Amino acid sequence: MELRRVEESIFKALMILSLMIVVGSLLGVIGIILWNGLPALNIDILTQTGGLYGKGGGILNAIMGSVYLAVGGTVLAFFLSIGIAFYLQKEYSGGTRLSSMTRLCLDILWGTPSIVYGAFGFTILIYFQMRASLLAGIIILALLELPIMTRAMEEVIKTVPQELKEVSYSLGATRLETTLNVVSKQALPGLMTGVLIAFGRGIGDAASIMFTTGYTERIPTSVFDAAASLPLAIFFLLNSPQEEVRQKAYASAVILLLIILAISITTRLLSRKYTKYIIK
């Protein structure tokens, strides 16, 4: 009789320990990055380009490259994702084979490693005899973000009550009008969250853009230029034997981490602030 209580408390202690390891490792990662990176951050690093060799220079080229890549990729992914997420509603796909097939495909794409996206992008570039460019990176990032964004959007759209849509239909609205005026308003915070999460995934990914976007010391001036990016700046600058250059890698990591933290906090606030405008 007593034994099972002992067993329970042992396992409970193990569970709490495990949870502490999980939360502790998160805090450990954030702590170590900030500890090493914050001292390296200064105005020169943020406003100058070309820090790959030796003293001086900064990571502005990587920051701008990442912004172009992630914004471009997210915008492109948005138009595809929103269409797919809307189409997966019963009114369009009718809950048919196509919709469950699409969900499975999206799940598989979600699980596909980003280096495979990179390899795929590379085969496409060879096929068209193109060099690595911002445009290629944007397209690959859009494909990488597509499954994440669509699944997140679809989850919220699914929660919009059927009655709400039926009210709109009963007033004579078409599917498109109902989707744009009722469904998308009701699902707005969730849709924005989906966009932000996909943006975070896009801005942090290195393996997919390594061979499609390249790396350069300059800020790209057209979509056919190669472009630097924060994740690749971390990777390349860290390999330098010079401490000054490695400092710039730490600084890049802090900026990337702050962007991810900001996204995480914004999604929390979004769901809290906008849920009050939603009909329950």
Partner 1 sequence: MNIRKLKDNISSRLMLAATVFACLLFFFMLISIYSRASPIFSVVSITDLLFTSEWGPTEGKFGFLPFIMGTLWVTGLATIIAVPISLLSSIYLSEYAGNHLRNAVKPLIDLLAGIPSVVYGLWGVLAVVPFINNTLAPALGVETIGGYSILAGGIVLSIMVFPIIISVTGEVLRSVSQELREVSLSLGATKWQTIKHVVLRKARPGILAAIVLGFSRAFGETMAVLMVVGNVAKVPSSVFDPAYPLPALIANTFGEMMSTPLYDSAILLAALILLIVVLIFNILARMVLIKIERGVI
Interaction with partner 1 in 33-72: which residues (CB under 8 A)? Answer: 33, 36
Decide if residue 14 touches partner 1 (CB under 8 A). yes
The binding track of 77-116 with respect to partner 1, each residue x by CB under 8 A or -, is --xx--xx-xxx---xx----x-xxx-xxxxxx-xxxxxx
Stretch that binds partner 1, among 47-55, 156-164, 220-228, 260-268 (CB under 8 A): 260-268
Q: What distance in Å separates the CA atoms of residue 92 and residue 96, rounded to the nearest whole number? A: 9
Minimum distance of partner 1 from residue 238's CB (angstroms): 7
Stretch that binds partner 1, among 162-170, 182-190, 205-213, 218-226 (CB under 8 A): 205-213
Minimum distance of partner 1 from residue 225's CB (angstroms): 18
223, 138 Cβ separation under 8 angstroms: yes
Decide if residue 215 touches partner 1 (CB under 8 A). no
Decide if residue 128 touches partner 1 (CB under 8 A). no
For residue 120, count other CB atoms closer than 10 A to its CB. 15
Which is closer to partner 1, CB of 12 or CB of 56? 12
Decide if residue 123 touches partner 1 (CB under 8 A). yes
Return the residues of window 175-204 that contact partner 1 according to CB under 8 A: 175-177, 197, 200-201, 203-204
Stretch that binds partner 1, among 40-48, 51-59, 171-179, 216-224 (CB under 8 A): 171-179
The binding track of 141-160 with respect to partner 1, each residue x by CB under 8 A or -, is --x--xx--x----------
Q: How many residues bind partner 1 (CB under 8 A)?
A: 89
Minimum distance of partner 1 from residue 213's CB (angstroms): 12
Decide if residue 269 touches partner 1 (CB under 8 A). no
Q: For every residue of the chain, which 3-state class applies, written as one string?
A: CHHHHHHHHHHHHHHHHHHHHHHHHHHHHHHHHHHHHHHHCCHHHHHCCCCCCCCCCCCHHHHHHHHHHHHHHHHHHHHHHHHHHHHCCHHHHCCCHHHHHHHHHHHHHHHCCHHHHHHHHHHHHHHCCCCCCHHHHHHHHHHHHHHHHHHHHHHHHHHCCHHHHHHHHHCCCCHHHHHHHHHHHHCHHHHHHHHHHHHHHHHHCCCCCCCCCCCCCCCCCCCCCCCCCHHHHHHHHHCCCCHHHHHHHHHHHHHHHHHHHHHHHHHHHHHHHHHHHCCC
Minimum distance of partner 1 from residue 177's CB (angstroms): 7
Minimum distance of partner 1 from residue 119's CB (angstroms): 4
